[in-house]
Amino acid sequence: MNSGRLAEGKALTACAGPAAKSGPVTTGRLAEAERQVAHERAIVRWLAANPPPVADPNTCAHCRQPETRDAALLPFLAGDDTHRWVHGRCWSDWHRTRRLAAERALAAARDDTGPRSAA
Ligand SMILES: [Zn+2]
């Protein structure tokens, strides 16, 4: 009957383990999640404030090629309540390019407002 007590003790230890560790780990994960959410919000705001130039609606805003039978032009939101016509196959590259521009602009803005080491 001692084995029952042992198993109970192990179960309690197992339950107490993660609970005891959850404080700092959870705080760290929360801080990281909040940082990521803030970063995503900043990107979305930048994309809305910096829509791509209006392009010819008869050509793809990414590759500048016209619609073909095999490559339809589809309207994609540009972030400012307007849309641009992009081939379905070009959308991921178009979006990645826009997102990269946003990340570069945000990084440059951070560098501008960050502490100056040389000043
Ligand atoms: Zn295209």
- Per-residue pLDDT of 76-116, as tens digits, reads 988 778 899 999 999 999 999 999 999 999 999 888 876 65
pTM as predicted: 0.66
Contact (CB, 8 A) for 79 and 44: yes
pLDDT above 80 (res 22): no
Question: Structural domain tally of the chain?
Answer: 1
Residue 108 included in any domain? yes
Distance 65 CA to ligand 1 centre (A): 6
- Among 101, 58, 59, CA closest to 79: 101
Contact (CB, 8 A) for 49 and 33: no
Q: How far is CA 72 from CA 7, 69, 89, 115, 117, in A?
A: 64, 7, 9, 48, 51
Distance 82 CA to ligand 1 centre (A): 18
Distance 36 CA to ligand 1 centre (A): 30
Residue 118 included in any domain? no
Residue 119 included in any domain? no
Residue 94 included in any domain? yes
Expressed as residue numbers, the domain containing 47 is 2-113
Distance 62 CA to ligand 1 centre (A): 5
